[in-house]
Copies of this chain bind each other. A is one copy, B any other.
Amino acid sequence: MTRKLIIAGAQLGPIQRADSRAATLARLIALLEQAAAKGAKLVVFPELAFTTFFPRWPMERDAPELLGCFEAAMPNPQVQKLFDRARDLGVGFYVGYAELTPDGHRFNSAITVGPDGEILFKYRKIHLPGSDHVKEGQKYQQLEKMYFEYGDMGFPVQRGPEAWGRPVLGMLVCNDRRWPEGWRCLGLQGVELVMVGYNSAAYDPNGGESESEELRTFHSILAAQSNAYMNATWAIAVAKAGVEDGAGLIGGSVIVDPNGQVVAQAKTKDDEVIVAEVDFDACRQGKEKMFNFAQHRRPQHYRRIVDQVGAEAPA
């Protein structure tokens, strides 16, 4: 069984609030086809890939526009063409979306779909940034804590199919990638490829003092590189990029090897496919030596990580 696989990141340029769902889906399908033409068997789309980054807009809980950003089932008629085209091409994919459960819960979720069109597994974002209430007087909001519940599934992994070399797959969503706890929970399950989609601000759209876009992009790539290295896993992190209705998003989509080295990186802030051949057996050296957890970890000294939430500095 070969353990080599060509994977792709399908970076999306901006999706404006007024863009139709159908037009956006057509862009995803075009990227999928480009990736497949380059030999990719697994394509990673961004977080909340079917819509604009709607948590920047305050809406009532039951506003039709807000509900129209959520998927009440997956797949569903609004996204079915992507599933169909992927199955026809024999390509699997990761995609982030706003999930509305049958009993009314809302999550910032991601799924990985196999080459047969079936959902392999789901993840619900745990590290929600932003605010749980509308900040008055601000044109742009970040309302993830208001629109979504915290993920309730932990950090699951799933083996991919035989055709992919049965790699141990894990998923994170956006801000999760900055939290080493999530990566380590995946690493402790032997993860060999961590897939991440994101929408990350390039600057403060309300004009406040802000880190530079360059620094923010550096942070995004640094988090992917280092956590891939420290868990001896491949990683792919894929942006929605560019300016959505006046609010900028960084690009910087990357594929990173288990040494933490960038092997492919997006050059634009628009729709763009990046591709690399990954060899899952390249994870073995790190997992067996430097990051042989069984030999080197000392959990009795890590208790603070679970016993305490916030920082507690000495007096």
Interface bits A103-125 vs B (CB < 8 Å: 1, else 0) = 00000000000000000000000
Check A219–B304 contact: CB distance below 8 A: no
Check B309–A294 contact: CB distance below 8 A: yes
| Interchain CB contact (< 8 A) of A302 among B229, B296, B306 | B306
| Interchain CB contact (< 8 A) of A181 among B184, B189, B260, B307 | B184
Number of interface residues of A (CB under 8 A): 66
Tell me which residues across on chain B come within 8 A of A311, comparing CB atoms: 187-190, 287, 293-294
Partner-B contacts on A (CB < 8 A): 126-129, 150-151, 154-155, 157-159, 168, 175, 178-185, 187-190, 211, 215, 218-219, 222-223, 225-227, 229-230, 259-261, 287, 290-315
Check B259–A313 contact: CB distance below 8 A: no
Take A158-B314, A184-B180, A302-B181 as given contacts and tell me if A309 and B290 are in contact as well, using a CB distance cutoff of 8 Å. Answer: no
Tell me which residues across on chain B come within 8 A of A178, comparing CB atoms: 230, 290-291
* A296 and B127 alpha carbons, distance in the complex (Å): 6
* A236 and B260 alpha carbons, distance in the complex (Å): 21
Check A314–B223 contact: CB distance below 8 A: no
Tell me which residues across on chain B come within 8 A of A222, comparing CB atoms: 222, 225-226, 229, 260
Given contacts A154-B301, A300-B306, 13 further A-B contacts (CB under 8 A): A127-B298, A151-B301, A168-B314, A179-B297, A188-B308, A188-B310, A211-B259, A226-B227, A293-B310, A294-B311, A299-B306, A302-B306, A305-B306
Check B259–A215 contact: CB distance below 8 A: yes
What 8 A-B pairs are tightest by C-beta distance, nearest first? Answer: A294-B310, A190-B313, A226-B226, A180-B180, A181-B302, A299-B306, A190-B311, A188-B304
Tell me which residues across on chain B come within 8 A of A126, comparing CB atoms: 298, 301
Tell me which residues across on chain B come within 8 A of A312, comparing CB atoms: 188-190
Measured CB to CB, the nearest residue on chain B to A226 is B226
Tell me which residues across on chain B come within 8 A of A218, comparing CB atoms: 259-261
* A187 and B211 alpha carbons, distance in the complex (Å): 22
